Amino acid sequence: LAEARLREQATRQQLLVAVLVLGGAVVGLLAFTLFNQVRSRRHFTELALTDALTGAPNRRAILEHLGSLLDSGVPGFVCMLDIDHFKRINDKHGHPVGDEVLRTFYRACCLGRGEHEQVGRLGGEEWLLLVTHADTAAAAALFDRIRGHFQQLLPDGLPRADMPTF
């Protein structure tokens, strides 16, 4: 009888260990699934708010940012930027060169801007620049910085007559 009880107790302990191991595996699997779901959601949100060609915030992202700035009442400027004669660059030099000009423009904007400016691509060669906590002189200085970076970063091989401006 004592031996049967010992076997029964050992079986219960083995069952308890099996339940705990199985429970731990289920909790681990749920945690792994939740982690992947959060990571996937972040990734898809980033894809939904990022321009695939340039890596810039896309139309949705920059307009959402503009809306939040307008709601907050923060003073600033809303600037529409357009790359001049961009169609001519695409027509004359091909879309890969035009794509590089767009990426270059975004890099120039990133190098030129500070912590209170945000730029996003509206579409094509049109961009929206949001400037807060600045006066007109600071906004003009920002344009000059972007213009300088843009001219320095443009791809080699474009004839001077085709060098884009904005």
- Assess whether 125 carries a catalytic annotation: yes
Rg of the chain over Cα atoms, rounded to whole angstroms, equals: 28
Q: Which two tokens stand for residue 148?
A: 């300088």
Q: Which two tokens stand for residue 101?
A: 């000009």
Strand order across the 76-82 sheet: 76-82, 126-132, 117-123
One of 100, 115, 125, 126 is an active-site residue; which one?
125
Helical residues (DSSP H) of the chain, grouped into ranges: 2-49, 59-72, 86-93, 95-112, 136-153
CB atoms within 10 A of CB 97: 15
Determine the Cα–Cα distance for residues 101 and 163; give it in Å rounded to an integer: 10
List, by residue number, the catalytic residues. Answer: 125
